[in-house]
Chains A and B, each alone.
Chain A
Amino acid sequence: MSLPVIEISSPELTSQDPAKQDPASNTTAATNANLASSSHQAPGKRLWKRFKRHKLGFYSLIIFVSLYVFTLAGELVSNDKPLVIYYEKQWYFPLLKDYPEAEFGGNLPIQADYHDPFIQAQLDKPGNFVLYAPNPYYYDTLNYFSETDHYPGPPDHDNKLGTDIAGYDITARLIYGFRVSVTFALGLTLVGTILGIAIGAIQGFFVGRVDLVTQRLIEIWGSMPELYLLIIFASVFEPTLSLLFILLSLFGWIHLSDYVRAEFLRNRQLEYVKAARALGLSNSQIIWRHILPNSLTPVITFLPFRMSAAIMALASLDFLGMGVTAPAPSLGQLLLQGKENLDAWWIALSAFSVLVLTLLLLTFMGEALRNALDTRIADEQPDAEPQADTILAPLKTGAA
């Protein structure tokens, strides 16, 4: 999840023409031999290379992205509607279109329930063909024809991970719950990061009065009791994902803006910014081209951790009963059900495992990203040895 954001944040890095990066090695100057021999890596590319070297984090990223892509295609995997039906020499696509029961030999003009043994028998007649989703439940599917006599039902051959207290299939709810959590977290991180960068950048670049006033406003804003506000809003409005999203976004940027502000304060003093000003660049050009790309280290480092914090925030709100209401899929709600029905061990165990796995993957990615951004750890290229300068740095003194 980290990579796209890196690319967004430093536009000129990605706009490099790959052909131009070719190390043309036809130079003659001996003193510049090192330029010709090494390929010119953009800092973003170098970061990616260093990230890849951290195996645990890299594989975590791959697993996380595949999991998310998998759940994005959840409708194909976990759905109460069959994917394709060939019935009486005609093709049907229940995923895209609702068909009444009457189409398949039933009596009623209402939507077909594909768990109905009668419909299933109709579809299974010779000459017909039906392709069910691997897990034939949507997150809000109630199977009225189930053999389970009471809910929550333990894992069996129909519901591989059992059902929850309302009779929903847990596998389906985990798949959709993961999808909702990660999408929510991605959105929250994106909005929080953009807001944090924008506000921190304004403070750090214009300093003085602007900084002072904004900082006081942020302190006031940050001292508002976020949880109470959520409780109040949850009691006034019907809590929906979008409402939670807006409320959490309002507070999500506060700490990030401090980091960006500090980076801006440092970078605006550096000589390349002075040089840019002496060139006559405008403020926005200086911010956009010079300071911003060099101020993103803390932002990027925190991205996975912000993601996991956002996932946790949504889960805790749902757990506390202030989040979205059933039948919306939610990992926090499953945890709550698990806590209230400790004998139904399959609920707590599965929800807990998914949450822990998600957070672990994000933490590993965060660790890898932090190492990749830590310039004190040298690039371990076969031709490049650790620099004496970097090793000496703590002992030598910071002259110049």
Chain B
Amino acid sequence: MNRQDRIRNFCIVAHIDHGKSTLADRFIEITNTVDKRDMNSQLLDSMDIERERGITIKLTPTTMKYNYNGEEYTLNLIDTPGHVDFSYEVSRSLMACEGAILVVDASQGVQAQTLANVYLAFDAKLEIIPVINKVDLPSANPEKVIKEIEDIIGIPADDAPLISAKTGLNIESVLKKVVETIPPPKGDENAPLKALVFDSYYDSYKGAVSMVRIVDGKVRAGDQIKFMQTGKSFEVTEVGIFNPKNSECEQLQAGDVGYICASIKNVSDTKVGDTITLVNNPTAQPLEGFKEALPMVFSGIFPLDGSKYEELKDALEKLQLNDASLHFEKETSAALGHGFRCGFLGLLHMEITNERLEREFGLDLITTAPSVEYKIKEINKSPYLISNPSFMPNPQAIEEIEEPIVKMEIITPPEYLGNIMDLCSERRGEYKNMQYLDENRTKLNYIMPLNEIVYDFFDKIKSLSKGYASMDYELCGYKPSDLVKMDILLNGEVCDALSIIVHRSKAYKRGKALCEKLKEVIPRHLFEIPIQAVIGGKVIARETISAVRKDVLAKCYGGDVTRKRKLLEKQKEGKKRMRKLGSVELPSEAFISILKIDD
């Protein structure tokens, strides 16, 4: 048996919350990769946000040793994100594997992300091992789920292990199946080096670190390597594997999953999807890379304190080192000053990025309402894209506006069909077809404008279906649409950061809701403040914040000046967190209030 025959490279794919990370934890435990006392749950979710929210954002590989029939096998596992925003991360990790474990929740069955991910695995020609998780739950119905997998996905599942990652039931049988069913890598150790970069991150000591799958050849410290796409060469300083923390090893060979450090200063030099080869013995043909992930949602991010612009820039650059899908460019707003227009994969990605900026870099931010990218055709000009409503030209100059549309797939129990279909049509969805998967599940297909789903569509679907429905979407092009730019006037002045692009049919409702929401979040001032929603000079909605007429008149009790002073200081702090627009002070939440509108 040669070296590669004892290697298995696989990942775990699943719908969000079906138990990927817990299963990964059990594998690590069983194979004694980490000391029991160092185990903390969701081991591979290293970010605080990941642990808190119970989601995986970054893919994280780990190398485990497993004894099977007296032989020691090396199992390289890559945990993947389950949220729709991060499906591009999934597709990347699949390229580094020969097989995938498909985890399906025994009571929830096949969900939209299950399907989306399993199709990605099919595309990558992976061997798929279905596993039924959470069989310990009282609501578990493994037989039904097995049937579902066979009917809907079309792979045999009668011998799928019935496990509980939480209690540790039957975990061993999954590992056995991994060894038995997933084919070993078939690279050529003696061929020139060919390594696929499937991810990279920045380490402040080692520089940009590439996570690689060695397809052919071998690499060790001291080798001169070359990134075939960028053409740049570096000297390798360290190679190693993940178990699950980085641990240095002598060399990486065909079939291995590991990392390469080469004192690379810019993460942009380690492009994900690039092929690494040796300078003095290069391979002829690079590997097929991945499509770059394109941002779909855009929003402005501004420092609350205008003088922190440089710090924000720094923080974004650092985040980008580990998150190639984050895009940003400079933006200047009349209301908010200097900041950045940032592109995200989706709303969750945006939320997480914001949270990380605030938490890891201690920044206070103002985030404007998310927007999608519109295609503007002006008369006698070639079409261009805008993601910032304030760049929208005069309506008279516009010949046509196109908006991005997506193919939407929703799986729901039939009792919620009515509600969900209502929601979809309200969101300008175009019904395509419906498919009964079984008596408990229906698949809906819609074509929808992206701008109708970026705000709260996912949450809405969840709440309309008591959490049972799931969704997945992919961009499928642009479509002309009757869109208008709506401005918000505060005390008669336009606040550019509150402008949005909206479909004409919804402008009135949205404008009214936005005015009402702003009335709620803007504190009362000493004077009256009119809030107006305006389209092309025409006021379509108005609210008024009445002036403050009374504030604290408390007794200065027994000389307790401190209490009063602290109260004032707190209010002053609160004031500092406000942005002054003309004479009106806006709290930072005003800028994303549009997100919280219920329409």
Our verdict on whether A and B bind, yes or no, reads: no
